Structure 1
């Protein structure tokens, strides 16, 4: 598998996302394009079935899926999304991929960013019993405001960092052993973080630093396999199984719910609280 070049992100993402969604969609046995006798060589729907369901030619759909056509009409795009039965997030992601002009992104002033951070720090104080708390900014930069949170994410590390990239925590060599130990379902968490990065790229808010970090990680085949599924993610709440240290030095697996609080003055800055 070749290494994707993020300068070609829209083209590669259109191709990868459509292929992934097609592979996960169940074919319609009543479709005239469905072959009940022939051997199916691919999972999910065949290209012919998607094209027929969307009311477009096979050649047109093939060009779309290969990233050779980035200007379908709104009606064609809607038909493809219906044929693949995309989720609301999947629909938003695909529409953004076909946008010629970047979406308008609010440029938060430095003063508003500081005010937002101060507000989130105040919110933290209202959750004294929270198991873990951290702040995420636009570039998925992770800020750990207390020692308890740092000790959970970096067990057995004498001086855990107070700030680092969430992407580095999950994938960089010096931190990956910690995230693998803490998150029981590490692969699912890794897919979530990659999905968050996809949304940063498609909305054009990712910094050059974040882009460079991802481009470097794409040389890792394991990271590349997850990346090229092109599955976007926007999480606000949920649950992760974490390995937590006991007083006797052993670890216990615990289901930990989390909620996300977004700062009104800076929507790209949020507080994540594990309960």
Structure 2
């Protein structure tokens, strides 16, 4: 998966979602041969020539200026995540080789050990799960039962049938994961063979992943609400937060918590009390 191919697909899908009325362009009717806006319309909105925009979309321009990229972002109505993604694709990083295997930061591991009543995990590059606490085992399953190569959020979401039962809004979770993986593919080690292998495996084994990947969604993993159908305590609505160290954005601490004085709060406390002995024995990675 080259960055030129990714840039081309990204720009085409963003053109396809816009229509003349969305950007105050005249629509003269008739059958449009392409979905959404034409290349010449995007070029007009961005203030560049049609030939130059065409070469950008085909990945044949390697030195786009900030002015041009900002103009394209405005023309395509990109949000902040999409705008950053455009910059990463237009100016891919050059790395000396594949990224090294990650180990959880000691301070993040210490935080995990201190978070007794809050399900939490550390997510690394490619959405790999680097570490977790007993409460995460109780809520999400025992990652220690998986081989290290299988401890990956996107892989579990699409290839483990249990995830479709656990997440009440599985379709939304799946799209969010693909959107984050797209962001990762654009900003971190574009030549990473492990990332390419993961995307290839998911594309080969999951039609849902193939469909979503082709749409080029882009979204950072920050915070939100997830609904669960847990086999032990039933329905839960939890708020998740993603915390990153400023000096190491390649690792993130993800926590799940319930609003106080809610049925979800009571159910989570009950779950952690019931599963504490088993989860505590199983939460450490076994590489």
TM-score normalised over the length of structure 2: 0.73
Q: Summarize the alignment of residues 127-138 of structure 1 with structure 2, pairs less than 5 Å apart.
A: 128=117, 130=118, 132-138=119-125
CA contact under 8 A between 1:14 and 1:67: conserved in structure 2?
A: yes
Partner residue, 2:171: 187
Q: Summarize the alignment of residues 1-275 of structure 1 with structure 2, pairs less than 5 Å apart.
A: 6=1, 8=2, 10-28=3-21, 34-99=26-91, 101-102=93-94, 113-125=104-116, 128=117, 130=118, 132-142=119-129, 143-146=131-134, 148-154=135-141, 160-161=145-146, 164-172=151-159, 175=160, 177-205=161-189, 207-220=192-205, 221-246=207-232, 251-252=234-235, 254-263=236-245, 266-275=248-257
Q: CA, structure 1 residues 42+239, in 2 after alignment: closer, same or farther (shift >3 Å)? A: farther
CA contact under 8 A between 2:223 and 2:239: conserved in structure 1?
A: yes
Q: CA, structure 1 residues 264+109, in 2 after alignment: closer, same or farther (shift >3 Å)? A: farther
Q: CA, structure 1 residues 52+150, in 2 after alignment: closer, same or farther (shift >3 Å)? A: same
Q: CA, structure 1 residues 70+229, in 2 after alignment: closer, same or farther (shift >3 Å)? A: farther
Tell me how far apart the structure 1 counterparts of residues 153 and 221 of structure 2 sit (CA, whole Å).
Answer: 14
Tell me how far apart the structure 1 counterparts of residues 183 and 171 of structure 2 sit (CA, whole Å).
Answer: 19
User: Could you say which structure has the higher helix fraction?
Assistant: 2
Structure 1 runs not aligned, ≥5 long:
1-5
Q: CA RMSD in A?
A: 3.2
Tell me by how many angstroms 1:243 deviates: 1.1
Tell me how far apart the structure 2 counterparts of residues 89 and 168 of structure 1 sit (CA, whole Å).
Answer: 23
Tell me how far apart the structure 1 counterparts of residues 18 and 237 of structure 2 sit (CA, whole Å).
Answer: 30
Q: CA, structure 1 residues 272+217, in 2 after alignment: closer, same or farther (shift >3 Å)? A: same
Tell me how far apart the structure 2 counterparts of residues 266 and 101 of structure 1 sit (CA, whole Å).
Answer: 17
**Secondary structure of the structure 2 residue equivalent to 1:269:** strand
Tell me by how many angstroms 1:21 deviates: 1.4
Tell me by how many angstroms 1:30 deviates: 7.8
Tell me by how many angstroms 1:114 deviates: 4.0
Q: CA, structure 1 residues 216+77, in 2 after alignment: closer, same or farther (shift >3 Å)? A: same
TM-score normalised over the length of structure 1: 0.76
- More displaced 10-residue stretch of structure 1: 191-200 or 70-79: 70-79
